[in-house]
Structure 1
């Protein structure tokens, strides 16, 4: 989710010696998986943990987690980056699903006209 402290220290050392240009260190790629056909690259924008119950030593035993994410697109990633390729695969899958719906094949997906609000 973030560079290791060793990588950050090495980048700082190299920048002090003038050996590298100061620029953000590339973060490890984070993937959000909605299922086997929906895997998208994301950047975590926020995380909140709410601890609501504790044991006698005050260790949390119940908590809820909230995550905020930004979908990374080809505009956010360099050409040839694995995340850009995953985003393109996600788009292709959406196009295939839209094509199936446009051809009236919703019945094949288990949806009748009533299920999608078309009457009959």
Structure 2
């Protein structure tokens, strides 16, 4: 697909942090502090193993998803739009100490996203809760 773009090389968790969002409005991250990009993390009460299994099944139930990386505290998936094949990179970092899952969802290409990344995380949150 011509709109897939290249997979970013700054994904993953470094020192307990997901990559910061770029200045463009097509990214949300629970570790961002600015109004444009911030979004609430997910919280959980069950075991990390249960919560990751639940999260994985929710992600796989959404259209156009492909899980790329999965560890005992991190999940990275690509979400591809049906029509144009745009790809968004979505990450989940499970912090066992605080029982919080930090989230980051970012478009690979373009500037705006019409709120798609924020909406995706809120959809996942609704299914998660």
Asked whether the two chains share a fold, i.e. TM above 0.5, the reply is no
TM-score, with structure 2 as normaliser: 0.23
Please say which structure displays the higher CA radius of gyration: 1
Larger RCO: 1 or 2 (CA < 8 Å, sep 6+): 2
